[in-house]
Each structure stands twice: as structure tokens, then as C-alpha cells.
Amino acid sequence: MPHRYLLFYKPYNVLTQFTHPGETGSPATGAEAIAPARTLKQFIPIANVYPVGRLDQDSEGLLLLTDDGALQHRLSDPKFHHPRTYWVQVERIPSQADLNQLRQGVTIRVNGKDYRTRPIAAQLIPEPTLPPRDPPIRFRKTVPTAWLEITLTEGKNRQVRRMTAAIGFPTLRLVRVAIAHLRLEGLSPGEWRDLTPEERQRLHKNV
């Protein structure tokens, strides 16, 4: 049987897994303990495909799923530096000096240890056209917001949120819009599709 490769637009408050922590007997923690979350099982009726990497419960956007274990391992391995691009709404408006801090790498706390992030691409962008988030982000009249496009080549736990917080601009909304050449366009939240033959070919060529 040929392998399956799927793109999925993960909505907010969906876990990047097919079983809920309650189903496995594991206690829910963090955001999972605050609000009931849906799982991939409620959206994707394909057996034996698994997400490549993770996307936090409170983040949205592009997720790649496959039953190709070798490709999954290679895309998930940080040493291969596969780019992932995010649109990030932050509190207040960063200056170019602030963005330069991100571009050069910042120190974040990961698993109780300081970690210096790799250099990234970061720029201010106009507010993108996105479906409304449910629930919407908190809104404060006295605090402006800005949108950034950030491209990483690594994926530490909650890295984008930790990086923007490190320079004083908390993340309000986070949407992954690209994994390498694969893009979110054409999908709505909760929708999935198979990769095209051209996308599959390019994916294997790049990996």
C-alpha cells in the first residue's frame, strides 16, 4: 500500500494526537486541564497516520500527518533544520531593534534550562486574512497589537511564544502557515487533504 501524506488545518483547542488524555488514563495538565479539547480523531478518519511534530493546543494552522515512519522521523529531527513559518499576533508593536533580537537568537527557558535559539527570520506584516478564532483573543483598547511572520528551523516546546515573551511582546495568537514548501492556503479550520503528487515529490526530494 502506498503511504498517505495529509495536510490538516488544526483549529484552536485541538490536541495534536488521536486520543484524549482522559482516554489513556493520564491526567490532563496545563491548558488541557482548563478546557475540554478535541482531538485529531474528530477530524481525520484515516487510520495509522500520525502528526509530524506537534502544534500546541492553543495554536492553530498547518499540520502534516503521514504513515511514512522514515519521513516522519527525518522531518521531526532538529538536526535537519526544516523551516516552519508562523504568523504571530503579539501585544504592542516591536521595533526593528526588537526584531533583530529575535533574528539573532534569544535565551529562553526550556525544561528548566536556559537555551539559546538559532537565528530566525522575523518581520512585521500587515494583519493577515484569517478565520476568526473561537474563542477570540483578549482585546484591550489601550494596548495595540502587531503581526509578525517568523520562520524557525527548530521546534522547542512553545518556542515562538517563549521567544516573543523574552523580548517583551507576549503572543496572543499563533498560526503555522507553512512547513517547508507546504502551505496552509486552500484549507479552512478543521479541513484536511492529501498532498498532490507534485508536493509529495518535492517533499521527498527535500528530505
Which string of DSSP letters, residue by residue, matches 186-207?
Answer: T--TT-EEEPPHHHHHHHHHH-
* 56 noted as active-site residue: yes
C-alpha cell at 197: 503528487
3-state secondary structure of 166: helix
- Name which of 176, 193, 150 is nearest 56 in CA terms: 176
Q: Do β-strands 171-179 and 60-66 pair in parallel, antiparallel, or remain unpaired?
A: parallel
Q: Which of 56, 58, 68, 98 is catalytic?
A: 56
Q: CA 167, 161, 192, 13 torsion: positive or negative?
A: negative
Q: How far is Cα 57 from Cα 54, in angstroms, rounded to an integer? A: 9
Residues designated catalytic: 56
